[in-house]
């Protein structure tokens, strides 16, 4: 709760700070301080929670899981500000507002792991979404940015309708909004409730950009200012997954209930893996490749949803951390490049060896190579699916897609190391390099000792 309040209040404070402080560097430091403050508040929540605490008349439930994910999200945002914060001022004038919007998103994220009422789920999803519509269109004079914003807004509000309809149907079937009191497990499932579950699954699949609800993703991610894509594709996506997971793991689980939706989610997973990976192969721009790669990675995170067991919970946390840190890192380097195509990376290893090295570590992590966090993330979610039983076909499809993903990630590595060229970058500061090294160190540490993170669960 404290983390939620801190982030929301800090967002408002930041808007006022924008009025008085004109130095953009200072605003950035202020925002970074905000994430540290939120982290401490979240830590405090964790010490209070112990097991789990229900707050606000059963609206919110703070548990170890939600505290841990909030910690991961805040830490990722901290890294994001550190690495990409300076790029905010390249988008437009209202830097403080952008930071404030990110904080509002963050306060929605704080709810995504801890809601215990479907109304709070709706609020969490909307609080996350609305600032994103604004951020997507932040580059006001750029047509592509406008298009991204409009597209995102239209499809997003459409999905909100579906989400609400799902909630309404479930309320009709069970008479409660509380996710713990629906009691769907006992007896036969009414058609009303089943429709509700399916509608919710579709709406949430849209939010996590799973196929066939992914069509907005490439255009929105490509059209939005790159610096905001970095946030939308990482922390926000992970938060949507956490909400997805929490709802389905608490309300729609147990007995035969899982079987009602498992096959549908499994098919969505398969489609997401195939579409994400195969389309990413054909991209010419690294930014667009990362957009499709985020769809492909969503396919792997869906393994955690479909498995419906304890191991999947661990896998989701690990995946959220591994994927967010690595992708933020890749985007941070992308933001420093003058040319966003693969060819723009040619010869980066000779010019900026450190940038090339850390990018390689991040990409290896995304491909799931051992010694990086991405390996254990994939390991846990795939294991969870094997443990669930009956999903072995999906697991084999998953690993084959992981092999395909190596193709497009390694294209960047090949360009950096094995091709000659003059990769032009913006000026790179020592602080930026240090932050990149910090992110790479996190990726490798979690890649050798994933227990360091999971011990908090």
Partner 1 sequence: MLTVLLILIPLITGLITFGLKGPGAKVFSLLSSLATLAVAAVAWTQFQSSPDSLQFTADWIPQLNSQFKVGLDGLSLMLVLLTTISFPLIFITVFSRSYDRAGSFYGLMLLSQAGLLGVFLAYDALLFYFFWELALIPVYFLCSMWGGERAVPVTFKFFVYTFAGSLLMLVGIIYIYFQTEGSFSWQSFTSLSLSNGEQSWLFWLFFVAFAIKMPVFPFHTWQPDTYEQSPTPVTMVLSGVMVKMGLFGVMRWLVPVLPQGVYMWQEAAIVLSVIGIIYASCIAIMQSDLKKLIAYSSIAHIGLMSAAIFANNEQSLAGVQVQMFNHGINIIGLWIIVEVIEQRLKVKNMGELGGIATYAPRLAILLVIVSLANIALPLTNGFIGEFLMFSGLFQYNPWFAAIAGIAVILAAVYMLRMLQKVLFGEANALTATTTDLKSGEMLAMACIVAVIFVLGVYPKPLLDLAAGIGLQDAVAAVITR
Question: Pick from 55, 392, 426, 441: which binds partner 1 (CB under 8 A)?
Answer: 392
390 binding partner 1? (CB under 8 A): no
Q: Is 347 in the site for partner 1 (CB under 8 A)?
A: no
Which of 12, 396, 426, 441 lies at the binding interface for partner 1 (CB under 8 A)? 396
List C-alpha distances in Å: 381 to 53, 72, 235, 256. 28, 18, 18, 22
The window from 166-174, 188-196, 296-304, 372-380 that contacts partner 1 (CB under 8 A) reads: 372-380
Among 47, 256, 420, 455, binds partner 1 (CB under 8 A): 455
Q: Where are the alpha helices (DSSP H) in 1-117?
A: 2-20, 24-49, 64-84, 88-91, 95-112
Element (H, E) at 385: helix 373-388
Of 115 and 409, which has the nearer Cβ to partner 1? 409
Which one among 5, 12, 33, 403 touches partner 1, defined by CB under 8 A?
A: 403
DSSP secondary structure letter of residue 63: E
Q: Does 414 bind partner 1 (CB under 8 A)?
A: yes
Work out whether 5 is an interface residue with partner 1 (CB under 8 A).
no
Single residue of 142, 146, 176, 387 touching partner 1 by CB under 8 A? 387
**Is residue 282 within the footprint of partner 1 (CB under 8 A)?**
no
The residue from 164, 369, 438, 444 that contacts partner 1 (CB under 8 A) is 369
Residue pair 197/166 in contact by the 8 Å Cβ criterion: yes
3-state DSSP helix/strand/coil % of the chain, to nearest 5 = 80, 5, 20
Q: Which of 29, 282, 407, 456 binds partner 1 (CB under 8 A)?
A: 407
393 in contact with partner 1 (CB under 8 A): no
- Rounded (10°) angle between helices 237-250 and 118-136: 170
Under rule CB under 8 A, residue 410 binds partner 1 = yes
Write the CA distances from 86 to 13, 95, 218, 258, integer angstroms. Answer: 20, 10, 25, 46
Which residues on adjacent β-strands are paired with residue 115?
60
Residue 388 Cβ, how far from partner 1 at the closest point, in Å? 10
Number of residues that bind partner 1 (CB under 8 A): 30
Helix (H) or strand (E) holding 223: helix 216-223
Contact partners, residue 118, CB within 8 Å, separation at least 6: 167, 170, 171, 177, 178, 179, 247
Q: Is residue 382 within the footprint of partner 1 (CB under 8 A)? A: yes
Q: Which span (23-31, 34-42, 120-128, 379-387) binds partner 1, by CB under 8 A?
A: 379-387
Q: Interface with partner 1 by CB under 8 A: which range of 43-51, 150-158, 275-283, 394-402? A: 394-402
399 binding partner 1? (CB under 8 A):
yes
Instruction: Out of 189, 281, 406, 444, name the contact with partner 1 by CB under 8 A.
Output: 406
Whole-angstrom Cα distance, residue 186 to residue 386? 27
Q: Which is nearer to partner 1, 77 or 346 (CB)?
A: 346
Q: Which helix (H) or strand (E) holds 310?
A: helix 310-336
Contacts of 408 by beta carbon, 8 Å cutoff, 6+ apart: 280, 281, 283, 289, 293
DSSP SS3 for 117: strand
Q: How far is the CB of 386 from partner 1 (least distance, A)?
A: 5
Interacting residue ranges for partner 1, rule: CB under 8 A: 314, 364, 369-371, 375-376, 379, 382-383, 386-387, 392, 395-396, 399-400, 402-403, 406-407, 410, 414, 417-418, 449-451, 454-455
């Amino acid at each position: 709760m404290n983390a939620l309040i801190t982030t929301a209040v800090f967002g408002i404070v930041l808007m006022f700070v924008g009025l008085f402080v004109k130095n953009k560097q200072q605003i950035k430091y202020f925002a970074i301080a905000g994430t540290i403050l939120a982290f401490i508040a979240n830590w405090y929540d964790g010490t209070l929670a112990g097991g789990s605490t229900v707050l606000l008349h059963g609206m919110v439930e703070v548990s170890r899981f939600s505290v841990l994910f909030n910690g991961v999200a805040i830490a990722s945002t901290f890294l994001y500000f550190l690495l990409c914060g300076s790029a905010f001022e390249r988008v437009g004038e209202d830097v403080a507002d952008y930071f404030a919007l990110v904080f509002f998103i963050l306060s929605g994220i704080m709810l995504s792991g801890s809601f215990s009422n479907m109304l709070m789920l709706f609020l969490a999803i909307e609080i996350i979404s609305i600032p994103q519509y604004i951020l997507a269109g932040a580059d006001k004079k750029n047509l592509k940015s406008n298009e991204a914003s409009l597209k995102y807004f239209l499809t997003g509000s459409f999905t909100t309708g579906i989400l609400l309809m799902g909630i309404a149907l479930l309320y009709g079937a069970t008479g409660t909004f509380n996710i713990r009191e629906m009691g769907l497990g006992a007896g036969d499932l009414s058609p009303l409730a089943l429709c509700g579950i399916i509608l919710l699954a579709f709406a949430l699949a849209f939010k996590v950009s799973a196929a066939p609800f992914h069509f907005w993703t490439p255009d929105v991610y490509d059209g939005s200012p790159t610096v905001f894509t970095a946030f939308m594709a990482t922390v926000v996506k992970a938060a949507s997954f956490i909400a997805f997971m929490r709802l389905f793991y608490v309300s729609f689980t147990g007995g035969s209930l899982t079987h009602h939706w498992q096959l549908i989610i499994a098919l969505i997973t398969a489609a997401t893996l195939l579409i994400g990976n195969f389309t990413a192969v054909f991209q010419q721009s690294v930014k667009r490749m990362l957009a499709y790669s985020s769809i492909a990675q969503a396919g792997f995170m869906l393994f955690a949803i479909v498995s419906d067991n304890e191991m999947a919970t661990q896998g989701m946390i690990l995946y959220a951390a591994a994927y967010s840190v690595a992708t933020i890192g890749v985007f941070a380097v992308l933001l420093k490049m003058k040319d966003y195509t693969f060819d723009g990376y040619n010869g980066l290893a000779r010019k900026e060896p450190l940038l090339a090295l850390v990018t390689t570590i991040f990409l290896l992590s995304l491909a799931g190579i051992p010694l990086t966090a991405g390996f254990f993330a994939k390991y846990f979610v795939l294991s969870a699916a094997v443990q669930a039983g009956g999903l072995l076909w999906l697991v084999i499809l998953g690993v084959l897609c992981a092999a395909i993903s190596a193709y497009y990630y390694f294209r960047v590595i090949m360009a950096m190391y094995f091709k000659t060229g003059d990769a032009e970058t913006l000026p790179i500061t020592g602080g930026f390099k240090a932050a990149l090294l910090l992110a790479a160190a996190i990726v490798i540490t979690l890649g050798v000792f994933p227990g360091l993170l999971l011990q908090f669960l």
